[in-house]
Amino acid sequence: MITDTLRQQHKEILDMLDRPEMAAELIHFVESVHHPLEEQELFPFLDKQKCLAAGGPKCSFFMGIRLELDPLGGMKKSLQNFFAKTSFRPEPYPTLPWLTPQSPLSLPFEEHAVGADLAQSLLFLLKPENKELHTQFFAGIYKDYCRLLKMHVDKEDNCLFIIYEQAMRTTR
Ligand SMILES: [Fe+2]
């Protein structure tokens, strides 16, 4: 099952978190290996499943957190502050043409998009010529990136992947 691979990748991601010396390796794995795999293999399959509308075991919990605490809001504000003070602008995150804002998948997808902005900002700050900006901004953005990935892994391991695994069991 694809979720076996993705759960294993989550373990590898968690092992690299909160270790700033591994930031470039973490970013490469998340942004070039893990998130593309989810978007190419997992999300399109789930989008076609009727059970997605019914949600997973913790869908209402995660929706509630998004509505009441808006955990990505503070990260987006910090990024805007960083962009306002520097010349850096991230590449726009490619959209998935079939994904609607009403789909529960828009939640993890928004995390991929904000995560990509954070990741690109960190790679910019890792360049030797940006040493001064690194001192000012790296720690805050890195902390947000790790926090976002922890939330994301928890949401997928305990909800999204379970919807997939249940769907696979019923279609066998
Ligand atoms: Fe994931």
The predicted-structure confidence for 40-90, as pLDDT tens digits, reads as follows: 999 999 888 877 776 666 777 777 777 777 889 999 999 999 999 998 999
Distance (Å) from CA 156 to ligand 1 centroid:
6
Distance (Å) from CA 113 to ligand 1 centroid:
13
Distance CA 45, CA 148 (A): 24
pLDDT at res. 72: 94
Angle, to 10 degrees, between the axis of helix 59-69 and the axis of helix 71-85?
50
Would 116 be classed as within a structural domain? Answer: yes
Distance (Å) from CA 12 to ligand 1 centroid:
11
Would 99 be classed as within a structural domain? Answer: no
Average pLDDT over residues 167-172: 77
Would 147 be classed as within a structural domain? Answer: yes
Would 33 be classed as within a structural domain? Answer: yes
Distance (Å) from CA 33 to ligand 1 centroid:
10
pLDDT at res. 57: 66
Distance (Å) from CA 172 to ligand 1 centroid:
24
pLDDT higher at 129 or 49: 129
What are the residues whose beta carbon lies below 5 Å from ligand 1 (ion)? 156
Q: Is the pLDDT of residue 136 over 80?
A: yes
Q: Is the pLDDT of residue 29 over 80?
A: yes
Average pLDDT over residues 134-146: 97
Distance (Å) from CA 1 to ligand 1 centroid:
14
Distance (Å) from CA 51 to ligand 1 centroid:
20
Q: Give the residue numbers spanning the domain of 84.
A: 2-94+106-171
Share of the chain above pLDDT 70, in %: 97
pLDDT higher at 170 or 150: 150
Distance (Å) from CA 10 to ligand 1 centroid:
6
Would 133 be classed as within a structural domain? Answer: yes
The gap between the terminal CA atoms of the chain, to the nearest Å, is 12
| Cα Rg, the chain, nearest whole Å | 17
Would 43 be classed as within a structural domain? Answer: yes
Distance (Å) from CA 46 to ligand 1 centroid:
14
Distance CA 47, CA 108 (A): 13
Distance (Å) from CA 153 to ligand 1 centroid:
5
Average pLDDT over residues 124-140: 96
Q: Is the pLDDT of residue 172 over 70?
A: no
| 106 secondary structure, DSSP code | H
Length of the chain: 172
How many domains, the chain? 1
Distance (Å) from CA 87 to ligand 1 centroid:
30
Would 15 be classed as within a structural domain? Answer: yes
Would 101 be classed as within a structural domain? Answer: no
pLDDT at res. 132: 94
